[in-house]
């Protein structure tokens, strides 16, 4: 269990139907009695990410993210920071047909957390650890069990709990950061135009970025406030990440070349 905060929220860009968080289909609280034989399938891979082109990221990840992915913000009022992993709908350029991520590329924590997630307990200030229950992720009587013979959480479950705690804390910070950006009117909608193989042009839209001119004209009081809160490195990480559009274009061209051969 972990304490929750009223400020914490997870709202990924383009969330799936029925309010489910991105990637999750059937999150169920882990229970020692109900799931005494339940186990995590070994090496289930990252296939679950192959049909997305944007993944939510936390503020503290942005200095690593900016070296591999363009960072944008969701166009809604939440202004959720996202790593852009593809240029076409339903395509992640960083995962291959075997469910393997691009070698040496940083994998966002949102992906590394899966299939675990926290959920709120009704009428309580507690959060409980859940697992996305489906046959691609879990199995009965497998080697990687969540509970031991005494009903205590195994190291796997304990590590998942600690990771979710860390993620939850980072998500709280990110909500505050995003609210600051949204309230500052610093974000502007953008459309990216990229040239790809076959002299074709792809238009990518539905995201926001920081307006560099507005940032340069920020008043001293607000700038000092953001500096005191430690936000400046993350703002600059977003700006630096713009160089990664070239990486995405190159990766898409490589995939298109394979598709035509």
Pairing, β 81-84 against β 71-73: antiparallel
Q: Kindly state the tokens that stand for 246.
A: 């070239």
pLDDT (0 to 100) of residue 11: 35
pLDDT (0 to 100) of residue 123: 61
CA distance 121 to 189: 37
pLDDT (0 to 100) of residue 195: 85
Average pLDDT over residues 247-253: 94
Closest CA relative to residue 74, chosen from 19, 12, 22, 16? 12
pLDDT (0 to 100) of residue 15: 43
CA distance 208 to 111: 22
pLDDT (0 to 100) of residue 122: 61
Confidence check: pLDDT of 16 > 90: no
Domain boundaries, given as residue ranges, for the chain: 2-260
CA distance 42 to 166: 23
Q: What percent of the chain has pLDDT over 70?
A: 91
Confidence check: pLDDT of 2 > 60: no
Confidence check: pLDDT of 171 > 80: yes
pLDDT (0 to 100) of residue 13: 39
**What is the pLDDT confidence band of residue 121, given thresholds at 50, 70 and 90?**
low
CA distance 119 to 130: 7
Closest CA relative to residue 84, chosen from 227, 245, 218, 217? 245
* Residue 5 Cα to chain centre, angstroms: 19
- Specify whether the CB–CB gap between 68 and 15 falls below 8 A: no
- Specify whether the CB–CB gap between 141 and 134 falls below 8 A: no
Confidence check: pLDDT of 14 > 50: no
pLDDT (0 to 100) of residue 182: 94
SS3 at position 73? strand
SS3 at position 116? strand
pLDDT (0 to 100) of residue 52: 96
pTM of this structure? 0.89
**What is the pLDDT confidence band of residue 184, given thresholds at 50, 70 and 90?**
very high
Closest CA relative to residue 256, chosen from 94, 47, 93? 93
Rounded to 5°, angle at Cα 94 from 189 and 178:
35
Closest CA relative to residue 146, chosen from 134, 135, 157? 157
Q: 213 CB contacts (<8 Å, ≥6 apart)?
A: none
**What is the pLDDT confidence band of residue 245, given thresholds at 50, 70 and 90?**
very high
Confidence check: pLDDT of 201 > 90: no
Average pLDDT over residues 221-225: 95
**What is the pLDDT confidence band of residue 187, given thresholds at 50, 70 and 90?**
very high
User: What would the DSSP string read from start to end of 207-233?
Assistant: EEEE-HHHHHT--HHHHHHHHHTT-HH
pLDDT digits (tens, 9 = 90+) for 127-150: 899 999 988 999 999 999 999 999
**What is the pLDDT confidence band of residue 192, given thresholds at 50, 70 and 90?**
confident
Across the strands, what pairs with 145?
Answer: 39
């Amino acid at each position: 269990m972990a304490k929750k905060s009223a400020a914490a929220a997870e709202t990924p860009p383009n969330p799936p139907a029925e309010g489910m968080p991105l990637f999750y289909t059937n999150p169920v609280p882990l229970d020692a009695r109900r799931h005494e034989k339940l186990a995590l399938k070994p090496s289930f891979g990252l296939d679950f990410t192959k049909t997305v082109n944007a993944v939510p990221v936390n503020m503290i990840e942005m200095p690593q993210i900016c070296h591999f992915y363009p960072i944008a913000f969701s166009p809604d009022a939440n202004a959720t920071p996202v790593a852009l992993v593809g240029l076409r709908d339903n395509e992640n350029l960083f995962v291959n047909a075997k469910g393997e991520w691009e070698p040496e590329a940083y994998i966002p924590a949102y992906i590394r957390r899966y299939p675990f997630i926290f959920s709120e307990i009704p009428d309580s200030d507690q959060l409980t650890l859940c697992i996305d229950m489906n046959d691609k992720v879990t199995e009965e009587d497998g080697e990687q069990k969540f509970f031991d013979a005494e009903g205590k959480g195994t190291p796997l479950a304990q590590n998942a709990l600690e990771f979710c705690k860390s993620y939850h804390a980072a998500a709280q910070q990110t909500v505050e950061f995003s609210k600051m950006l949204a309230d500052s009117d610093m974000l502007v909608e953008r459309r990216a135009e990229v040239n790809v193989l076959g002299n074709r042009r792809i238009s990518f839209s539905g995201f926001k970025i920081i307006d560099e001119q507005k940032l340069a004209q920020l008043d001293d009081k607000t700038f000092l406030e953001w500096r005191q809160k430690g936000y400046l490195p993350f703002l600059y990480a977003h700006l630096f990440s713009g160089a990664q559009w070239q990486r995405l274009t190159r990766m898409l061209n490589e995939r298109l070349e394979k598709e035509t051969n």
